[in-house]
Structures are given as structure tokens and as C-alpha cells.
Amino acid sequence: MTNIVTMQGLNKYFGDLHVLKDIDLTVEQGEVVVIIGASGSGKSTLIRCVNGLEEYESGQLTVDGEHLAPKGSNPKALATIRKEVGMVFQQFNLFPHLTVQRNIMLAPMKVKATDAATAAGTAKKLLDRVGIGSQADKYPSQLSGGQQQRVAIARALAMEPRLMLFDEPTSALDPEMIGEVLDVMRELAKEGMTMMVVTHEMGFAREVADRVIYIHEGQIVEEGKPEAVFDNPQNERTQSFLSRVLKH
């Protein structure tokens, strides 16, 4: 198996705050890695390093064969990586001035110089795939949160990414809409997409993840198959975190 992501001794600071401490992590092609941890533990920062939305201070980070140097000092590799890595955000971050279809067409047309007709066709297909083909001409604000997040997933998929990053994709959603987004993600995983998912949805993690990583104060303290992490956590911090989140 080839590694899509390789992190070695990665360190990240926000000023004096040491947010990621010597992170060693690999993600293989086709693997679904779910990252869990309390808020402020550094789990979002970790996946934001993978596509360079956060710079790191020291260590090694290779994404899809491109070496992403510390402090953003390799802009060429960064540009290549961003074309290969899709990201879905907690707040959707759809473009409010463009229709749903235009949201999806923008990147292929600007980055890959795809012609409008082809991009429109791809957008339609992707919208059907996430179950909202009929909403193509609406503006994001006219859709529900769950629909918006599905558009955001379609928008990322339009670039045919080799890796998808999900940064708490259901945390801003009303409870009744969480299922429809997780369904789309489940489908993606089934089709073999490589995914790094930061989430509080433990049921999803248990069902879909190939590997679960628990982060505490910027360090990976537990890592393993979901059954192992959830049913038999070794570290007492993992035990106390899980007892808190699984209680309700």
C-alpha cells in the first residue's frame, strides 16, 4: 500500500502555544482515518496542516509524494497538493454569490481550465450523487444546512481529489440533518476514497473508520482499529474522554 500522507515529528505552534507535538502519522491509500479528541486538542489543526491551511514549524510532511516544507516554504508543492486534496469545512464555506452549480464548476474551470459545458455536466452528476440534483440553480442560502454541506462535498469532489479532509463536517448541523451528510461520507468511503475525518460522531467513527486516532493536548495518545479504541482503550485519557462522549 502506498502512503498518501506521511507526518514525521511534526510540530506546530500558535505563538507560545505548542498545538501539535511530534506528530507521527501515516495515511494509506483508501484508508479512512477518524481523528477524535476534545475541542482545542489540535485535531482540526492537524488536518489543516495536510493542505497547508496551517503552516508547521518543524518536522516532515509528505502528501501524495509532494514534500510540504515547514513554514510554507515550498509553494510549488503546496499548489500541487491543494489540487489533489479536497476539504469540507464545519461552516460549509459555500460561495454565497454563486449558484450551487457554479460553486461546483468554479475550481475545475479556474484550476484545470475545464470548459463550462463539461464542468456543468460534472456538477450535475455530482449533485445527483449527493442527492440534490434538483437544487442546481439555487443559491446556497436557499438550501438547508445538510444540503449545503452535501454541495460542499460535491464541490470538493469536482476536483477529483486523491484525499478528502473533513473538518467537523456535521458540527454546525441540526441533529436531523447529520444523517444525510454522514450517508454521503459513508458512500465515499465505500467507493475507496482516502479520508481524514475530524468528528464527534462516534457511531460513524466506529462503523466507517479503518483507524481511529485520539489526540490529547496536541499529542496522539491512542491509535488503532475502532473496536480496539472504543471497546478497550489503553490510555486513561482516552478512557475518560470516551466515557464522557459516549455517555449520552
Partner 1 sequence: MASQFQFDWQAAIDSIPFLLKGIPYTLLISFGGLAIGFALGILFGLLSINKKWFLRWPATTYIEIFRGTPILVQVLFIFYGLPDLIGGPIDPLTAGIAAIALNSGAYISEVVRGGVQSIDRGQTEAGLSLGLSRPQTFWSIVWPQAFRRMIPPLGNQAIVSIKDTSLFSVIGVGELVRQGQVYIANTFTAFEVYFVVAIMYLSITLTLSLLLRYAERRGLAST
* Site residues for partner 1 per CB under 8 A: 51-53, 79, 82-83, 85-87, 89, 91, 93-97, 106-107, 110-111, 139, 141, 152, 155-156, 159, 165
Q: At its nearest, how many Å lie between partner 1 and the CB of residue 139?
A: 7
- In angstroms, what is the minimal distance from the CB of 221 to partner 1? 28
Which three cell numbers mark 56?
Answer: 508547521
**Phi then psi for 2, rounded to 5 degrees?**
-95, 145
12, 26, 86 from 60: Cα distances, Å:
12, 11, 21
CB 123, min distance to partner 1, A: 13
> What is the grid cell recorded at 87?
476539504
Pairing outcome for strands 58-63 and 32-36: unpaired
Between residues 194 and 238, which has the closer beta carbon with respect to partner 1? 194
Q: Between the CA of residue 187 and those of 76, 208, 212, what are the distances in Å?
A: 32, 10, 19
Question: Tell me, what DSSP letter sits at residue 181?
Answer: H
Q: How far apart are CA 221 and CA 106, in angstroms?
A: 40
For the bound state, the minimum distance from the C-beta of residue 245 to partner 1, rounded and expressed in Å, comes to 26
Q: Give the residue with the Cβ less far from partner 1, 86 or 145.
A: 86
Q: Which residue, 75 or 192, has its beta carbon nearer to partner 1? A: 75
C-beta closer to partner 1: residue 53 or 228 = 53
